[in-house]
Structure 1
Amino acid sequence: MALDLESGVPLWRRGRGLRPCALLAGSVVALRISRSPTLVVVVFDAATGEDRWTSEPVDLPPWARCALDDTRDFSVRTETDEDIVVIHWVARSWYVGGAAPSPQALKESRREAHGTLRVDPAGPPVEILPEVEAPPEPADAGAPPLVPPSAPSSQAAADVLDQSRVGDVRVELALRSDSGAIVLRAMNPRTGTLNWEVELDDATTRRAPRLPP
Structure 2
Amino acid sequence: MCLALLILSVAGCSDSSDERLAAFAQQSMAEQRMQNDRIADQSQAVVAESHQLAEAAKELVKSDAEARRELIAAQTEMTSQLNEQQSVIYSGHNQLEQDRRDIASQRHRDPIIATVIQNLGLTMACVLPLVVAVFVIRQMQSQEPDHAAVAEMLVFELTSDEPRLLPGPMTRRPASDHDDEETNHALFSGDSTDDVEPPR
If the TM-score is normalised by the length of the shorter chain, which range does it land in? Answer: under 0.3
More helix per residue: 1 or 2?
A: 2
* Structure label with greater radius of gyration: 2
More strand per residue: 1 or 2?
A: 1
> What is the TM-score with the length of structure 1 in the denominator?
0.17
